[in-house]
Amino acid sequence: MSELDPGTLLTATAVEVPLTPVPAAQIVAGSPSTGAVDLDEDMGIGVWEMTPGAMSDVEIDEVFVVVAGTATVEFVDPALPTIELQPGSIVRLEAGMKTVWTVRATLRKVYLA
């Protein structure tokens, strides 16, 4: 099922994203929650959100644009420079990258995976 039907207008910051607590094994600091909504499963487009805190993750192939919030992404493997995210940031991730996300203000991104 697609939430983004042809001719449909959505506002990335207004899409309802149900959140669930991050599994304990992934928490680095705080008590963050995350959630995602697929807008078009065939095209791999969706909205992802994370509340303040820090978590480790293993990435998939995706490109995303931050639409709200601020965060830092530390690249653990491969070791790449840490990046700062803010609205308008565009980032490409590759499958298998190991990262640590530290969110200061609830982060929301639109992704293409």
Phi-psi region for residue 17, left (φ > 0), alpha (ψ -120 to 50) or beta?
Answer: beta
The structure's pTM equals 0.93
Q: Per residue in 13-58, pLDDT tens? A: 999 999 999 999 999 999 999 999 999 888 899 999 999 999 999 9
% of residues, the chain, pLDDT over 90: 88
* Residue bearing the bigger pLDDT, 85 or 8: 85
Is 100's pLDDT higher than 90?
Answer: yes
CA angle 65, 51, 5 (to 5 degrees): 45
User: What are the structural domains, with CATH classification, of the chain?
Assistant: 23-112 (2.60.120.10)
Give the tokens for residue 91: 């980032």
Q: Please report, in angstroms and rounded to a whole number, the separation of the first and last CA atoms in the chain.
A: 17
